[in-house]
């Protein structure tokens, strides 16, 4: 898979997850699994996918590519660029 994101140190799965975060923010691990059409036929499958994608989300948080917040038991993330949008919005509204 070509690395078009400019993040050479990211693995293929991390790039996939980061792309979904950028396209569908804010998003949780379960929502990422749903976008990727993972199997949710049993509670065990759901937990496994949640744990798997939470792992990748935490790696992206550590690399400072996404920001996160806990909402209940879910880790919700959004891209770092969203904070720039928030700052621009404040400037336009005159809240600065």
Structure-block tokens of residue 68: 């996160």
The model's pTM is 0.82
| Domain annotation covers residue 2 | no
pLDDT for residue 4 is more than 80: no
Q: Pick the more confident residue, 55 or 1.
A: 55
In a domain, 3, yes or no: no
Does the pLDDT value for residue 1 go beyond 60? no
| Per-residue pLDDT reduced to its tens digit, 32-73 | 999 999 999 999 999 999 999 999 999 999 999 999 999 999
Residue 7 counted as domain residue:
no
Residue scoring higher pLDDT (3 or 35)? 35
Q: How far apart are CA 78 and CA 28, in angstroms?
A: 9
Look up the CATH number of the domain holding residue 38: 1.10.10.10
Q: How many domains does the chain have?
A: 1
In 39-88 the beta strands, taken as DSSP E runs, fall at 66-71, 74-79
What H or E segment, with its residue span, contains residue 27? strand 27-28
């Amino acid at each position: 898979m070509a690395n078009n994101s400019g993040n050479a140190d990211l693995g293929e799965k991390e790039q996939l997850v980061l792309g979904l975060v950028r396209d569908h923010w804010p998003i949780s691990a379960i929502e990422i699994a749903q976008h990727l059409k993972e199997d949710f036929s049993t509670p065990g499958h759901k937990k496994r996918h949640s744990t798997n994608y939470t792992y990748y989300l935490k790696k992206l948080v550590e690399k400072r590519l996404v920001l996160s917040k806990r909402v209940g038991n879910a880790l919700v993330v959004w891209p770092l660029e969203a904070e720039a949008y928030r700052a621009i919005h404040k400037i336009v509204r005159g809240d600065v």
